[in-house]
């Protein structure tokens, strides 16, 4: 009995250690070496972007790392802590996902995806306020002024 408890505790500690301290795989590495990672457990970290698309007990979440985003198939229960999704108006939460990588998922029409087993928020997103680019505004005002001068001068030249 004691040995079973020890083995179970060791397994849970290893699983927790894997999610918290495991080296994340980049989206570029996953895409370039899809055959190598196919069917294996990976840890992937990035910003939640776009809409969270709910499908019964699961949801599709796009997670962007570097220049690419990967679709994550995740149970609703794991998304409870996700508050922000990246868009023009907000920076999304950064999440760390551990799950099974599929180069061509048979369940989802051959798409490249990760089926999440664990998901944790590593940093919170926030709303983003757009600030006016003063250089662009000043350039537009100067061009409008020049256009007005050309128009006014063309009125006098015709007469």
Any idea which of 6-15, 73-82, 105-114, 141-150 has the lowest mean pLDDT? 6-15
Confidence class for position 20, pLDDT limits 50, 70, 90? very low
Query: Domain tally for the chain?
Result: 1
Tokens of 21: 């301290």
Is the Cβ–Cβ distance between 70 and 99 less than 8 Å? Answer: no
d(CA 156, CA 159): 6
Cα radius of gyration (the chain) = 25
| Average pLDDT value for the chain | 87
Q: Summarize pLDDT for 59-97 with one digit per residue, the tens.
A: 999 999 999 999 999 999 999 999 999 998 899 999 999
CATH of the domain at 98: 2.40.50.140
Among 64, 24, 67, 63, smallest CA distance to 42 is for 24
d(CA 44, CA 104): 17
Is the Cβ–Cβ distance between 118 and 19 less than 8 Å? Answer: yes
pLDDT of 122 > 80? The answer is yes
Asked whether residue 11 is assigned to any structural domain, the reply reads no
d(CA 98, CA 32): 19
Asked whether residue 119 is assigned to any structural domain, the reply reads yes
Asked whether residue 2 is assigned to any structural domain, the reply reads no
The values of phi and psi at residue 114, to 5°, are -125, 130
Asked whether residue 44 is assigned to any structural domain, the reply reads yes
Confidence class for position 152, pLDDT limits 50, 70, 90? confident
Confidence class for position 16, pLDDT limits 50, 70, 90? low
Is 0.75 surpassed by the pTM of this model?
no
Residue 101's domain spans which residues? 24-130
Asked whether residue 115 is assigned to any structural domain, the reply reads yes
Asked whether residue 78 is assigned to any structural domain, the reply reads yes
Asked whether residue 15 is assigned to any structural domain, the reply reads no
């Amino acid at each position: 009995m004691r040995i079973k408890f020890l083995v179970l505790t060791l397994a849970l500690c290893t699983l927790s250690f894997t999610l918290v301290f495991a080296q994340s795989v980049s989206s570029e590495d996953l895409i370039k070496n899809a055959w190598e990672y196919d069917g294996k457990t990976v840890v992937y970290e990035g910003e939640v972007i776009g809409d969270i698309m709910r499908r019964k007990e699961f949801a599709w979440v796009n997670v962007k790392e570097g220049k690419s985003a990967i679709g994550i198939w995740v149970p609703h229960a794991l998304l409870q802590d996700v508050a922000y999704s990246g868009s023009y108006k907000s920076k999304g939460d950064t999440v760390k996902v551990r799950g099974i990588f599929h180069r061509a998922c048979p369940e989802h029409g051959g798409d490249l995806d990760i089926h999440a087993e664990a998901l944790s928020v590593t940093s919170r997103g926030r709303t983003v306020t757009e600030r006016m680019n003063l250089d662009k505004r000043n350039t537009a005002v100067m061009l409008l002024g020049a256009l007005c001068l050309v128009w006014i001068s063309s009125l006098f030249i015709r007469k």
